[in-house]
Amino acid sequence: MTRAEQADALRADGAADGGYRLRVRVPMRWGDMDAYGHINNVQIVRMLEEARIAAFGPPGGTGASGIDPEVPLFSDVPHGTLALVVEHRVRYVKPLDYRNVPAEVDVWVSGLKAAALTLDYIIHDPVDGHECVRATTALAFVDEASGRLLRLTPEQRERLSPFVGKGLFER
């Protein structure tokens, strides 16, 4: 299957902004629940991280081998390159109740800059499909030894380009 065919297969329903979205499933853990029966806000940020890794791969050299990501990005960066979170923005639209099935998370790229990218997410309730969380994460690649920002390569831009769409918090 070509990358374009893979992108077509991964298009989430309702992605009318021109970009493709990756849909990943992120488990909710019993311990993620707060006293109100909802997934705790701190755990929501953990779920965003899990969705990001499921969609774009774990950073190279971490953990043991597993399932290849849909779009290898973090898993393909050169040794000594760090993918660092610069900023998160999270809007809680509706409480995400704990369920013993994984939540569905749409992930896409809402911004590509010379040395940074922005990912957007929508977390859906896995049973009723309601949108529960809208979020964005700004990331930058940094050289571990020097601490300097690294530019996105043409290959990284090409790999991400089918998944570039409108940001959730754009005005």
pLDDT in tens, 25-35: 999 999 999 99
At 91-127, the pLDDT tens digits run: 999 999 999 999 999 999 999 999 999 999 999 999 9
In the prediction, which pLDDT does 5 show?
42
Q: Quote the percentage of the chain above a pLDDT of 90.
A: 70
The torsion defined by the Cα of 71, 75, 79 and 80, in degrees rounded to 10, comes to 90
CB atoms within 10 A of CB 143: 13
β-partners of residue 138 are 87, 118
Residue 7 reports pLDDT greater than 60: no
Whole-prediction pTM = 0.86
CB 141 within 8 A of CB 115: yes
Confidence of residue 80 (pLDDT cuts 50, 70, 90): confident
- What is the mean predicted confidence (pLDDT) over 71-95? 91
For 119, the 3-state DSSP assignment is: strand
Residue 21 reports pLDDT greater than 60: yes
- What is the mean predicted confidence (pLDDT) over 62-71? 70
- Which of 65, 71, 59, 63 is closest to 139 using CA atoms? 59
Residue 150 reports pLDDT greater than 60: yes
Q: Of the ranges 46-50, 66-70, 106-110, which one carries the lowest mean pLDDT score?
A: 66-70
In the prediction, which pLDDT does 9 show?
44
